[in-house]
């Protein structure tokens, strides 16, 4: 702002020595592209009076009023800007042509800055679906003890998602979260254990009422999914948006996860009481999982499909299984 004052005084000095000689009764100081300050001198001897004015105080008040979009006359009297009490004819100082186009330009700049600040939006989403696995690109033999029930093998994920607009309809969805595989075995008598050679599946032959047998594995994950959204919605759509989304969207990208827990679980009814037995162990599961995630959506509904490109178990320690999951995103 000090540079503005210096420039003002320099321009004033320049115009008082040149423009006055040419125009004789006024000095017009151009400010920017569409505004100017006019100093009107009705008597040449009033030039001596200008030496007694505190123009810095005047400019301070003038800028303060313009920043408040107040174009009414200055409330202070001209005498209040005098450096001394010498009584002379007072010059008339007016501000003209406050360019309203500047307001529009400022608004456009504000909107532009807001647009860039809002390029990324954050949401919390839930993946709910089912999971299974393939061996050699096919579903497992129904006679295998590790064959999974399609219904009841639930996949659950909680994700913190950032959606960044890269272009008009091109976005990146990235973030992380926690997910759980639940492999519910077809055979409720399946028992999972391990020895030094690898994981072992056996059938419990006791005369008991077996209700459930499953393997649960929890992972912490990170993902990056480029996608095209023809609705160009800045926020990640949700079924709770109330029908505000209109476009079709799709994307595919990589993810990776690290195993943080795993356990087997059996549910058995004994003497009329339901008992649950847990066995926390790594069961030679791979600590790392990685694969590709496909997302499809229309209006407020989104579905996902994930396929692990590496095997569920460590090489040579269990059956060759590639896990996958699919469902809806809430």
User: Does the pLDDT of residue 225 top 90, yes or no?
Assistant: yes
**Is the pLDDT score of 163 beyond 70?**
yes
Rounded mean pLDDT of 59-75?
Answer: 68
Phi, psi of 41 (to 5 degrees): -115, 115
Model pLDDT for residues 79-102, shown as the tens digit of each residue? 676 766 444 444 444 444 444 445
Nearest to 188 by CA among 277, 252, 59: 277
Residue 185 and residue 149 in contact, taking contact as beta carbons nearer than 8 Å: yes
Three-state DSSP at 276 gives: strand
* pLDDT tier at 202, thresholds 50, 70, 90: very high
More confident of the two residues 6 and 159: 159
Q: What is the pLDDT of residues 231-289, one digit of tens each?
A: 766 666 665 555 556 688 999 999 999 999 999 999 999 988 999 999 999 999 999 99
Mean pLDDT of the chain: 80
pLDDT of residue 73: 65
Residue 183 pLDDT class (50, 70, 90 cuts): very high
Largest Cα separation within the chain, whole Å, is 120
Describe the strand order of the beta sheet including 92-96 as a list of residue ranges: 26-31, 35-40, 92-96
Q: What is the pTM of this model?
A: 0.63
Tell me what pLDDT residue 41 has.
Answer: 72
Choose among 181, 193, 154: nearest CA to 291: 181
| Digit-coded pLDDT (tens) for 133-158 | 999 999 998 889 999 998 999 999 99
Query: 92 has which bridge partners?
Result: 40
Rounded Cα–Cα distance for residues 270 and 246 (Å): 54
Instruction: Say which range, 10-24, 64-78, 140-154, 292-306, has the weakest mean pLDDT.
Output: 10-24
Which pLDDT does position 227 carry in this prediction? 94
Q: Reduce the DSSP state of residue 236 to 3 states and report it.
A: coil
Instruction: Give pLDDT, residue 20.
Output: 42
CA distance 210 to 110: 66
Residue 230: what pLDDT? Answer: 86
């Amino acid at each position: 702002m000090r540079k503005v004052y210096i420039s003002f005084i320099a321009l004033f000095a320049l115009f008082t020595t040149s423009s006055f000689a040419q125009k004789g009764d006024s000095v017009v100081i151009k400010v920017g592209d569409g505004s100017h300050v006019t100093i009107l001198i009705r008597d040449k001897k009033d030039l001596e009076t200008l030496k007694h004015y505190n123009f810095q105080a005047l400019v301070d008040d003038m800028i303060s009023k313009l920043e408040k979009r107040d174009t009414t006359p200055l409330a202070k009297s001209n005498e209040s800007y005098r450096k001394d009490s010498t009584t002379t004819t007072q010059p008339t100082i007016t501000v003209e042509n406050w360019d309203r186009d500047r307001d529009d330009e400022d608004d456009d700049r504000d909107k532009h800055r807001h647009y860039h600040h809002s390029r990324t939006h954050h949401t919390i989403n839930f993946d709910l679906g089912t999971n299974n696995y393939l061996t050699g690109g096919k579903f497992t033999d129904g006679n295998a003890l590790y064959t999974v029930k399609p219904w009841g093998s639930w996949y659950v994920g909680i994700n913190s998602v950032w959606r960044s607009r890269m272009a008009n309809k091109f976005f990146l969805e990235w973030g992380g979260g926690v997910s759980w595989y639940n492999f519910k075995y077809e055979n409720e008598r399946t028992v999972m254990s391990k020895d030094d050679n690898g994981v072992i599946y056996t059938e419990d032959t006791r005369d008991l009422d077996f209700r459930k047998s499953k393997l649960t594995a929890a992972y912490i994950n990170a993902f990056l999914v480029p996608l095209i959204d023809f609705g160009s919605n800045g926020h990640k759509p949700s079924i709770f948006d109330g029908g505000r989304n209109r476009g079709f969207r799709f994307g595919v990208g990589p993810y990776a996860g690290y195993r943080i827990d795993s356990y087997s679980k059996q549910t058995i009814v004994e003497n009329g009481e339901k008992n649950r037995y847990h066995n926390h162990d790594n069961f030679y599961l791979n600590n790392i999982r990685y694969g590709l995630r496909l997302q499809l959506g229309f209006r407020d509904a989104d579905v996902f499909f994930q396929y692990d490109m590496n095997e569920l178990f460590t090489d040579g320690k269990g059956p060759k299984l590639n896990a996958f999951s699919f469902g809806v995103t809430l």
